[in-house]
C-alpha cells in the first residue's frame, strides 16, 4: 500500500477511534517510523541495493509468445532483451511500446510457467552474439550460447545483432566466378564470388543435399571461412552437418548458428541476423572472405509472418506480413562486399507448393545474382542434381565475365534444351519418327546433355552407392562441347548418366543389339515428396 493511502487510512482510524487519544499516539508513532525509513533509504548508496539499480517490471499479460510488461521506472527501448521466469531463463524481445508504461514483446524461448505479475528484468541491451577467433569450429544458438556441449568461448567480444548494411560508398563489386565443381551449375548458372545465390525448390527436391555438396566442394578450396546458418529446418540436419564437417576435418574453418523448427518464431526470425553479425566480424575486422550458407531463407520470412501475426498486425498477400520486403532486405542487404572483404552467400529457398510466383520466392529472387531452380520433374526422373536448366539463371553468364567460348556454349545448350522442350509433346503423342532429321538430332543431343549434366554427389554416396565426383569447369565445358558436336551420337544415353568428366563415358558395347542402348531406369532412388 502506498504511503499516501496509508496516511488516509490512519487519518480515518484517528477520527473514528475511541478514545481518540490512542489514535493520535499511534498516528504520531507511524509518522516518525516512516520518516526514519525514508531517511535510511536516501542515505543508503544505490550500489548497495542491486534491485534498485536494475529496471524491473511486471508481466501484465501472456498470450502465447506475446508478453506485455509494465515498467514503472523507465520504459525499455525497442529490441531490448528482457529476462523473466525461473533464473531469468525466459527471454523476451521488446517489439513495441504500447504506452508510457507498457511494452509488448515476443518470447524467444518457450513461455511455459510464465504468469501475470511475475518480475521481468530489463537487460538494457539488445540481443548480442560473440565474435572473435574463439568462435571458430563452434555451434551457437540465437543468444550466442554454445550448443555443442563445450564450454562457452573465452576472449570474445559481444556484438549486437541489429546492425545496418554497409553504406554504398563502402561497397565493392568484383566480377569473379566461384567454381563449385558441379557441372550443371558451373556451365549454366555460374556463381559470383561475393554474390548471393539461391537454391529454389519445393519440399524434398534436393535443396539441402545440393547445399551440403557445395559446402563439401568449396570449403576445402577456399581460403576464407564459412558460416552455416540453419533457420527453421530439421534439428537432425544440423547435427548431421556438424558431424559431417567434423569427420571431413573442415570444422576448424566453420561456425554454425541454429534456430531450427522447434524454436519459437522470435528466435527463428533473429537467428539470420545473429549469423550475419559473425560474418560481418570476419569480413570487417579480420578482412577475410566469408561463405555464408543459409538453409532456409523462406523460414526466415515465415518466422516474420508468425511474429507479425502474433503482434496482431494486418496480413498482406497470401497471409504474408506487410513488412516482408523490408524484413528481407534488412537481412539481405547486410550480405554485401566491402573493400575489406566479401560475403558470398548461398541460400536454400523453400518454394511453397512448387509455385515460383509465391510472394516469398519472388522477393528472394530480386536479391540474388544467381537463381538455381530445382524441378520436381527432374527429381522424379532421377536426374540429380534436379536443376531446371532452362529456368535457372545467373547474372554472371555474360561474355565479358565468363568469356566468349563459355557464353556461346551455354547459349547453345539452352537453345538445344529449349528445342527439345518444345518437341516433347509431339514425341509423346506421335513418336520420334514424325520428327525431321534435324529435330531428331536436337532431341538426341538434348537428352545426352541432360544426362551428362547429372552428377554423383559425395554427400549421397551412402544411399546412391555411387562415388562422388568433382568436375572442373574446363572438363564440364569440353564435355558439353563434344556432345553438341555429336561426338557421342553412337553412345547410349545411359553412358553419360551420373558420370564426372566426359572421358568416363563408357564405349558402346558392340555385342549388344541396338535396342538395348536406350536409356535404362536411373539407378538412384526417386524422391517421394515428403512433408516439409
| Residues designated as active site | 207, 233-234
Q: What is the side-by-side strand order in the sheet with 196-201?
A: 139-140, 254-259, 225-231, 290-295, 343-350, 196-201, 370-373, 393-394
CB of 44 to ligand ATP, least distance (A): 59
Do the Cβ atoms of 238 and 106 come closer than 8 Å?
no
Evaluate the CA torsion angle 457, 459, 464, 468 in order and state its sign.
positive
Q: 23 or 382: whose CB is closer to ligand ATP?
A: 382
User: Nearest distance from residue 206's CB to ligand ATP, in Å?
Assistant: 3
Among 209, 373, 387, 442, binds ligand ATP (CB under 6 A): 209
Residue 260 sits in the site that holds Mg ion (CB under 5 A): no
d(CA 49, CA 173): 55
Q: Which residue in 206, 238, 330, 492 binds ligand ATP (CB under 6 A)?
A: 206
| Least Å from the CB of residue 368 to Mg ion | 18
Spatial distance between the Cα atoms of 278 and 273, rounded to a whole number of angstroms: 9
Q: Which window, 140-148, 357-365, 484-492, 524-532, contacts ligand ATP (CB under 6 A)? A: 524-532
Q: Which positions from 225 through 244 interact with ligand ATP, judged by CB under 6 A? A: 233
Beta-ladder partners of 201: 350
What does the alpha-carbon distance between residue 235 and residue 238 come to, in Å, rounded to a whole number?
Answer: 5
| Nearer of residues 208 and 260 to Mg ion, judged by Cβ | 208
Helix, strand, or coil (residue 493): helix
Whole-angstrom Cα distance, residue 316 to residue 402?
41
Contacts 24+ apart (CB under 8 A), 149-152: none
Select the span of 202-210, 248-256, 332-340, 360-368 touching Mg ion (CB under 5 A).
202-210
- Determine, following the binding rule CB under 6 A, whether residue 204 of this chain makes contact with ligand ATP: yes
Among 146, 156, 418, 527, interactor with ligand ATP by CB under 6 A: 527
Task: Count residues binding Mg ion (CB under 5 A).
Answer: 2
Q: State the residue number with the nearest CB to Mg ion.
A: 208
Instruction: Give the Å distances, CA to CA, from 75 to 56, 61, 102, 349, 518.
Output: 10, 17, 7, 38, 74
Task: Write the DSSP string, 162-199.
Answer: --PPPPGGGB-----EE--S-HHHHHHSPEETT-EEEE
Among 159, 207, 363, 376, binds ligand ATP (CB under 6 A): 207
* Interface size with ligand ATP, residues (CB under 6 A): 18
Q: Residue 122 binds which entry of ligand ATP, Mg ion, none, with Cβ cut-offs from 5 to 8 Å by kind?
A: none
Please, what is the minimum distance in Å from the beta carbon of residue 295 to Mg ion?
6
Judged by CB under 6 A, does residue 522 bind ligand ATP? no
H or E stretch covering 295? strand 290-295
Closer residue to ligand ATP in complex, CB, 278/349: 349
Cβ proximity of 188 and 362 under 8 Å: no
| Cβ closest to Mg ion, residue 282 vs residue 350 | 350
Helix (H) or strand (E) holding 94: strand 90-97
347 contacts Mg ion (rule: CB under 5 A): no
CA distance 432 to 191: 36
345 binds, among ligand ATP, Mg ion, none (CB under 5 to 8 A by kind): none
Nearer to Mg ion, 208 or 345 (CB): 208
384 interface partner picked from ligand ATP, Mg ion, none, CB below 5 to 8 A per type? ligand ATP
Number of residue whose CB is nearest ligand ATP: 206
Contact between 340 and ligand ATP (CB under 6 A)? Answer: no
Return d(Cα 518, Cα 527) in angstroms, integer. 23
| Window of 5-13, 124-132, 202-210, 503-511 that interacts with ligand ATP by CB under 6 A | 202-210
Residue 183 CB, shortest distance to ligand ATP, in Å, is 12
Give which of Mg ion, ligand ATP, none residue 350 binds (C-beta under 5 to 8 Å, depending on kind). Answer: ligand ATP
Single out the residue of 504, 487, 486 nearest to residue 495, CA to CA: 504
Interaction partner, residue 242 (ligand ATP, Mg ion, none; CB < 5-8 Å by kind): none
Applying CB under 5 A, does 208 fall inside the site for Mg ion?
Answer: yes
> Which of 71, 143, 282, 457 is close enough to bind ligand ATP by CB under 6 A?
457
| Burial of 118: CB neighbours in 10 Å, binned 0-12, 13-18, 19+ | middle
Nearer to Mg ion, 208 or 464 (CB): 208
**What single string gives the DSSP state of each residue in 389-423?**
TTT-EETT-SHHHH-HHHHHHHHHHHHHHHHHHHH
How many CA atoms, within 13 angstroms, populate the side-chain half-sphere of residue 153? Answer: 22
524 binds ligand ATP (CB under 6 A): yes
DSSP letters, 452-488, are: HT----STTHHHH-S------HHHHHHHHHHHHTTTT
Beta bridge partners of 410: none
- Among 186, 182, 242, which Cα is nearest to 206's? 182
Least distance to Mg ion, CB of residue 233, Å: 6
- Out of 181, 230, 385, 492, the only residue in the binding site for ligand ATP (CB under 6 A) is 385
Binding mask 464-503 for Mg ion (x = CB under 5 A): ----------------------------------------
The angle at the Cα of 17, spanning 13 to 19, to the nearest 5 degrees, equals: 150
Residues with Cβ within 8 Å of residue 442, at least 6 apart in sequence: 416, 419, 420, 423
Instruction: By CB under 5 A, name the binding residues for Mg ion.
Output: 207-208
**Contact positions vs ligand ATP (CB under 6 A):** 201, 203-209, 233, 350, 384-385, 457, 460, 464, 524, 527, 532
Amino acid at each position: 500500500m502506498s504511503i499516501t493511502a496509508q496516511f488516509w487510512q490512519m487519518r480515518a482510524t484517528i477520527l473514528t477511534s475511541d478514545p481518540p487519544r490512542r489514535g493520535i499516539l499511534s498516528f504520531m508513532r507511524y509518522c516518525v517510523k516512516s520518516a526514519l525509513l525514508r531517511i535510511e533509504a536516501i542515505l543508503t548508496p544505490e550500489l548497495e541495493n542491486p534491485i534498485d539499480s536494475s529496471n524491473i517490471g511486471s508481466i501484465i499479460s501472456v498470450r502465447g509468445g506475446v508478453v506485455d510488461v509494465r515498467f514503472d521506472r523507465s520504459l525499455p527501448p525497442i529490441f531490448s532483451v528482457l529476462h523473466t521466469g525461473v533464473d531469468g531463463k525466459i527471454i523476451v524481445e521488446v517489439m513495441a511500446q504500447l504506452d508510457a508504461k507498457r511494452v509488448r514483446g515476443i518470447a524467444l524461448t518457450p513461455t511455459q510457467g510464465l504468469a501475470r505479475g511475475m518480475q521481468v528484468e530489463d537487460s538494457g541491451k539488445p540481443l548480442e552474439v560473440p565474435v572473435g577467433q574463439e568462435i571458430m569450429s563452434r555451434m551457437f544458438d540465437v543468444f550466442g550460447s554454445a550448443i555443442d556441449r563445450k564450454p562457452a568461448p573465452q576472449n570474445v567480444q559481444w556484438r549486437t545483432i541489429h546492425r545496418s548494411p554497409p553504406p554504398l560508398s563502402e561497397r565493392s563489386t568484383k566480377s569473379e566466378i566461384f567454381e563449385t565443381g558441379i557441372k550443371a551449375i558451373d556451365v549454366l548458372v555460374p556463381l559470383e564470388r561475393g554474390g548471393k545465390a539461391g537454391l529454389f525448390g519445393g519440399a524434398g527436391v534436393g535443396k539441402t543435399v545440393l547445399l551440403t555438396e557445395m559446402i563439401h566442394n568449396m570449403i576445402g578450396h577456399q581460403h576464407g571461412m564459412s558460416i552455416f546458418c540453419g533457420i527453421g529446418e530439421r534439428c537432425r540436419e544440423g547435427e548431421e552437418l556438424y558431424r559431417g564437417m567434423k569427420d571431413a576435418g573442415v570444422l576448424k574453418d566453420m561456425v554454425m548458428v541454429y534456430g531450427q523448427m522447434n524454436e519459437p518464431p522470435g528466435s527463428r526470425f533473429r537467428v539470420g541476423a545473429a549469423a550475419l553479425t559473425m560474418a560481418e566480424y570476419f569480413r570487417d575486422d579480420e578482412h577475410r572472405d566469408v561463405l555464408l550458407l543459409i538453409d532456409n531463407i523462406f523460414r526466415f520470412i515465415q518466422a516474420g509472418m508468425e511474429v507479425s501475426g502474433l503482434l496482431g498486425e494486418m496480413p498482406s498477400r497470401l497471409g504474408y506480413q506487410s513488412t516482408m520486403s523490408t524484413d528481407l532486405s534488412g537481412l539481405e542487404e547486410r550480405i554485401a562486399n566491402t573493400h575489406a572483404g566479401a560475403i558470398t552467400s548461398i541460400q536454400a529457398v523453400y518454394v511453397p507448393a512448387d509455385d515460383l510466383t509465391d510472394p516469398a520466392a519472388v522477393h528472394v529472387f530480386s536479391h540474388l545474382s544467381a537463381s538455381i531452380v530445382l524441378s520436381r520433374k527432374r527429381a522424379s526422373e532421377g536426374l540429380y542434381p534436379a536443376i531446371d536448366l532452362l529456368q535457372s539463371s545467373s547474372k554472371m553468364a555474360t561474355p565479358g565475365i565468363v568469356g566468349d567460348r563459355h557464353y556461346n556454349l551455354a547459349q547453345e545448350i539452352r537453345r538445344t534444351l529449349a528445342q527439345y522442350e518444345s518437341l516433347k509433346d509431339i514425341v509423346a503423342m506421335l513418336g520420334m519418327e514424325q520428327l525431321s532429321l534435324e529435330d531428331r538430332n536436337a532431341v538426341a543431343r538434348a537428352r545426352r546433355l541432360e544426362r551428362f549434366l547429372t552428377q554423383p554427389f559425395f554427400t549421397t554416396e551412402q544411399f546412391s552407392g555411387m562415388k562422388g565426383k568433382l568436375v572442373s569447369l574446363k572438363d564440364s565445358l569440353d564435355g558439353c562441347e563434344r556432345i553438341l558436336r555429336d561426338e557421342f551420337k553412337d553412345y547410349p544415353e545411359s553412358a553419360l548418366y551420373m558420370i564426372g568428366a566426359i572421358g568416363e563415358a563408357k564405349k558402346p558395347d558392340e555385342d549388344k543389339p541396338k535396342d538395348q542402348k536406350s536409356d535404362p531406369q536411373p539407378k538412384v532412388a526417386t524422391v517421394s515428396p515428403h512433408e516439409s
